[in-house]
Chain A
Amino acid sequence: MANRKKYVDGVLVELTDEEQAFRDAEEKAWADGEADRNMAELRKQRNELLVETDYMALSDVTMTDAWKTYRQELRDITKQTPTDIRLSNIKFPEKPTEKA
């Protein structure tokens, strides 16, 4: 099977066997790392949501039970069991409608 091609200064040329092997290995490593990347992204989104409500934990603010539960569910989100590599079954908790 012919190797993949690349553009060099606008001209399409075939990858050398060495370039093709490197690219194949690189793409495999990228694919193998998808679960870790998705979990890192999940944590990043979770942390942003926690930061939004951090002020509720200040000593002069009384946090309601609904918000306590919401924040705990955010912290526990990484304990859910993913059913696929894209974490498509992982759901963020809904924000309480009541005011803090």
Chain B
Amino acid sequence: MGKALLKRAGLLVGTLLLVSVLAFAAFSVIPGDPTTSVLGAEATREEIAAFRAQHGLDLPVWQRYWSWLAAFVTGDFGRSFKFDMPVSELVATRAQVTLVMAALSFALIVAISLPLGLISARRRGGVVDRLVTVLAQVTMSVPNFIMGIGLMFLFALVLKWFRPEYVPLEDGLGAHLRFMVFPALAVALPKSAMTVKLLRGSILGELGQDYIRTAYSKGNSQSSALRRHVLRNAMIPVVTFLAMAVGDIMAGSIVVEQVFTIPGLGRLLITEIGHRDYPVVQAIVVLLAAVVVGCNFLADLLYRVMDPRIAER
């Protein structure tokens, strides 16, 4: 088990390095330059040359990458060209916003999909099951930004449950969460639909297994057979799916932040790509990749804990 995990951890670091190389390479290929966005179109030749020298932009790509990497691993993410402040400070405040939304989305996915999946599997063909099947089909096929616009329209404009204006954490946690729950829902709904379908199928698959018949033959009631035997086995693929869904949640929030004008990592990423603010973009890309890869690693770990057959290998 230890050896396999070590291999996974190695793969994790390798993936992050690759992502950082690709991000760096992308910016040396695409047109545009931070000098124009920072110094303006009127800047003189000398000013531009001084700016480039100051930020090391005149060095070859591999040298720039190397010094960036050396600083990054020590926790120094560099300075933003545009804002002239440490990237870590800039990212930290924005990351908090995105993390709240991601955590909220994840909680919503779990809270929506686990009970619904359980009910529709237990009462297969019943009213809830049929309703969930139709709703899941519809929800799954709607992209999250459309979902966002739809939720905004319904809850902000028609029902007036919230004002479509960002409420920062400084205005109070309750108010902040009350606003954030809607964008989080836009991200969570399509994922919840998939999770419900997966869980339902997984439970039904396990219910047909021989060991469930054994459980009944010992005098288990339906609910204790479900609780003691079915759920653990049925949750194995679901937990893996949920851990991997975190990556999609992060990606989804980048888009949904635009719809709800939330000053999170996603919005910062988009605007700073426009400004060619390399240090900021580079840091966000690698951090997002780290979250995704880290969650996959966690999924692998959970899988091993939950399924003794895998743990052996």
Partners in one complex: no
Q: Point out residues on A near B: beta carbons under 8 Å.
A: none
Q: Point out residues on B near A: beta carbons under 8 Å.
A: none
